[in-house]
A and B are shown apart, each in its own frame.
Chain A
Amino acid sequence: MRSDEAQPELVVELQDIQHRYGPTVALDGCRLQIRPGEVHGLVGENGSGKSTVVKLLAGVMTPTSGTIRVAGKTQRLTSPAHAHRLGIVTVFQETLVADECTTVENVFLGSDGLFRRSRSRAYEMRAATEILERLGLSAAALATPPAKLSLAERQTVTIARALVRDWRLLVLDEATSALDLATRDRLFTLIAEHRDSGRSVLFVSHRMDELRLLIDRATVQRSGTTVGTLDRRQATSRRLLEMMIGRQDLPIAAARHGSSGPHREAEVVVSCHQIALGATTEPFDLSISRGEVLGVAGLDGHGAGALLEALAGWRAPRHGMIEITRGGEHHRVRGYRDAFRRGIAYVPAKRQEEGLFPALSVWDNLAVATLGRHSRFGLFRTGPIDRGVDEQLARLGVVPRDSATPISALSGGNAQKVLIGRWLAAKPWLLLLNDPLRGVDLGTKLDFYDRLQVLAQDGMSVVLLSTEIEELLAACDRVAVCRNHAIRAVLCGERLSHAAILAEMFGQPETEDVRS
């Protein structure tokens, strides 16, 4: 499986790399060989060590043991600047832009000496304009301060920063997740050109469609160890997933849980009457039943997120009203504190910015929402809190189970579980999830869908916003599709399909199903 034949002219080779963060072993027995002129995929679940590989190649840190060879020579990549000199450039998932510098300055950030400029201002302007135009950024955007650019535009700037260097290997760490489709396609065209001119790309992604489109070979990581490298013909989605998860009997995501479950009697717990999310948008109705998993789909900026925030009491709808029904009584939600008190839990999308306390432990992160219930005269009774925390960790299958672990040591998927556990500990009857599984691997997702179904069977209603249609198909009973800040359709049963959701999202009934 692994190509062990002599490769004298490898661009980069990682040999038996081990890396530890304190006691945690992030990588052990990691091997990677990147040939000139190839796009090499790096896939694996969260916690499989992909990000660590990226950081080692970027020069952000050096491995605990093992050898990194660049163009055949053993190197210690001591800093990003060092990696750049060796021709390795990296684009991170985070959009690392310095807001106080201009866009052009951001593109050429770090390419100069301490005092000496390596290029003239005019050259920089020309080169930046050229590369950003190739990536689809307008001249107007170039003159805009980076703080005012959109997320996709900011990510484009960091990609341009890598491309203007004299590089041999471009590392893209989930760098496409912030891009819009048009920019992503332009980037892929550029990548193909660079590959043809003999440069190499290490492409780290969760998205099978992108991987299938681009890669020449793919290396699979599992739990910090390299499982193997496949070439393009072998690297089918199914084969990659099997290797990532490490089991042959892969339950394909499309195996619907929702439709197979028992039909639940509709006891409406939330009803939205003629609510409008914007000043001029169309009003709509929506009702949520006890024990259902309702999906919310929609293109970015089409109101799906706003709908969740309205349900969570974060912001009231412009018109209409949202009524909740509990034990035969009707209430209107006034603000998010009221919503939380009444048993509505909202898990926001940006887990790093809006959810987690990065400096604290798993225990702290999980217990924070329920501390008030277990305190007397301002003092905590830790016993019930401990039990509650352990219960949630077990229920959600968080790894590691030790609640004293710092949250920053957990992978993205596990950190997300802790965040959800925080709200579950408050025992809500309505759980609102805003794209909880972005950037989470498939194994975790499958596990997560199962757990959602269990919650629903216990009588909880779940609203799941997702940017991935597959996920909605796998996890939801019904899917509400938003367009122009209103719900255009609520699909269920026979009518619930990939093509139907896409069609409603784009407003074209005849949209072709991209999967078929």
Chain B
Amino acid sequence: MTIAGVIAHRGGLRGKSVPYFVPALVAVVAMVVGTGARNPAFYDGGWKQVLVYASPLILLAMAQTPVVLAGGGGLDLSIGPAAGLISVILAAELIPRGISVWWAIGIVAVLLGALSGAVNGVLSAVIRIPPIIATLATYLVFTGLASQLLSSPTGAIPSWFSWFVETGGPVPNVTYVIVAVGLCWLALCRTAYWRSLRAVGSNDRAAFTAGVPIIQVRFIAYVLTGLMTGVGGLVLTAVLGGADSTVGPTYTLQAIAAVALGGISLAGGRGGLTGAVCGAALLFLIQNYLTLLQVSSFVLQMIYGTVLIVAVVSNGIWDKRRRAR
């Protein structure tokens, strides 16, 4: 037995030699070092600001994870617009009506997220419209609704929102939100649902015949995605310092790219939030670094695309070698 095999046997690494997110993590570390070399202020507190700006993407990449894990072409194109719409509803509907207590806003954000997830779940998992079509439809609906509700950006939000973006502590406060979501996920991973989710994602026929309720498992995956999208919408509002109906949709493709960069299998079954966080951080750091180099935003897009292809292909090759018999 190889050393990795022994570790896997003892340490419960699910029998795998190296966790799936390691390449992304290594790349993140490399990017941190590279950014620091270019811009010494990055180590000197600059990273906190970067993390704050990256936080909506990190949360939305986390949100994207459950539906991708559930397999069967699972994907949620609507998370960007959903997060944007939630932000718009908070700023344009709730706050002007005097509902501005932090816990009320927080609960509403998360519930709205869960609702959008449930809609996607009914369409994709229950009615079985291919997820890419179902969530494209809700993408359009959410985008239109957000523009309808808020035609021009607003900055009228309660002052407590700035708590999220404060960088005075050892880590920016938004880190605690990300960690809290991660802890909830860890708790979920200790339930039977985690096993069912991976089983459904990797072989839904096997899961179905073994008695796993695959429709429910996939529906719940969409709701989980929605819940995290709600948190993402809340943090997005804080980072923007208000609401802007045009910002949300830009996050969708970035979140999907982040998930792929993080080593999460788009075919389903393999991955987790760690990969999503690494992928999102990597994507944001690349963007940040290229901005430091004053690369034009058009070139930026091309580099994104190339990085994504390289990541997915090398992940595929790595995966194949790892599971070679």
Residues of A at the B interface (CB closer than 8 Å) are 58, 60, 79-81, 83-84, 90, 92, 94, 96-103, 105-106, 108-118, 140, 143-145, 147-148, 158, 161
Contacts and interface: CB of A to CB of B under 8 A. Distances in A.
A117 B193 CA distance: 9
Contacts, number: 106
Given A90-B209, A145-B16, A148-B323, A100 B270 contact: yes
A92 B209 contact: yes
Interface stretch (B7-15, B143-151, B292-300): B7-15
B137 interface: no
B198 A98 contact: yes
Contacts of A101: 14, 195, 198-199, 202
Contacts of B1: 140
B196 A114 contact: yes
The DSSP consensus for interface residues of chain B is: helix
Contacts of B321: none
Contact of A144 (B15, B199, B212, B269): B15
Q: Label chain A's interface by main secondary structure.
A: loop
Interface string B267-283: 00110000000000000
B9 A81 contact: no
A270 B217 CA distance: 56
Nearest to A149: B325
Given A112-B195, A115-B191, A145-B323, 12 more contacts: A80-B211, A99-B323, A102-B14, A103-B15, A105-B195, A106-B206, A109-B207, A111-B210, A114-B193, A114-B217, A116-B192, A148-B323
B12 to A, nearest CB: 9
A453 to B, nearest CB: 39
B208 interface: yes
Nearest to A92: B209
B203 A97 contact: yes
B178 interface: no
B291 interface: no
Contacts of A79: 211, 213
Interface in B178-229: 191-193, 195-196, 198-199, 201-203, 205-213, 216-217, 220
B321 to A, nearest CB: 12
Contacts of B5: 143
A99 B202 contact: yes
A76 to B, nearest CB: 16
24 contacts: A84-B211, A96-B203, A96-B210, A98-B202, A98-B206, A99-B203, A100-B199, A100-B270, A101-B195, A103-B15, A105-B195, A109-B195, A109-B206, A109-B207, A109-B212, A110-B207, A111-B210, A115-B192, A117-B191, A143-B9, A145-B14, A145-B16, A145-B323, A147-B325
Nearest to B216: A114
Given A144-B15, A145-B16, A109 B210 contact: yes
Interface of B: 1, 5, 8-9, 14-16, 191-193, 195-196, 198-199, 201-203, 205-213, 216-217, 220, 265, 269-270, 323, 325
A103 B193 CA distance: 17
Contacts of B213: 79, 81, 114
B203 A98 contact: yes
Contacts of A103: 15
Contacts of A147: 323, 325
B15 A145 contact: yes
Nearest to A144: B15
Contacts of A148: 323, 325
Contacts of A92: 209
A97 B323 CA distance: 15
A2 to B, nearest CB: 30
B212 A100 contact: no
Contacts of A102: 14-15
Contacts of B325: 147-148
A58 B211 CA distance: 10
Contact of A80 (B191, B210, B216, B323): B210
Contact of A81 (B15, B198, B211): B211
A114 B192 contact: yes
B14 to A, nearest CB: 6
Given A105-B199, A145-B15, A58 B209 contact: yes
A96 B209 contact: yes
B269 A110 contact: no
B202 to A, nearest CB: 4
Given A99-B269, A109-B199, A109-B207, A116 B15 contact: no
A113 B211 contact: no
A110 B211 contact: yes
Contacts of A111: 210-211
A278 B1 CA distance: 26
A37 B168 CA distance: 73
Nearest to A113: B192
Contacts of A145: 14-16, 323
Contacts of A100: 198-199, 201-202, 265, 269-270
A105 B200 CA distance: 12
Nearest to A119: B192
A96 to B, nearest CB: 4
B242 to A, nearest CB: 38
Contacts of B270: 100
Contacts of B210: 80, 96, 109-111, 161
A128 to B, nearest CB: 13
Please indicate which of the listed interface residues B212, B213, B217, B269 has the most CB atoms of chain A within 10 Å of its own CB.
B212
Contacts of A84: 211
A58 B206 CA distance: 13
Contact of B208 (A80, A97, A99, A144): A80
Closest 7 interchain pairs by CB? Answer: A110-B211, A110-B210, A112-B192, A96-B206, A100-B202, A100-B269, A81-B211
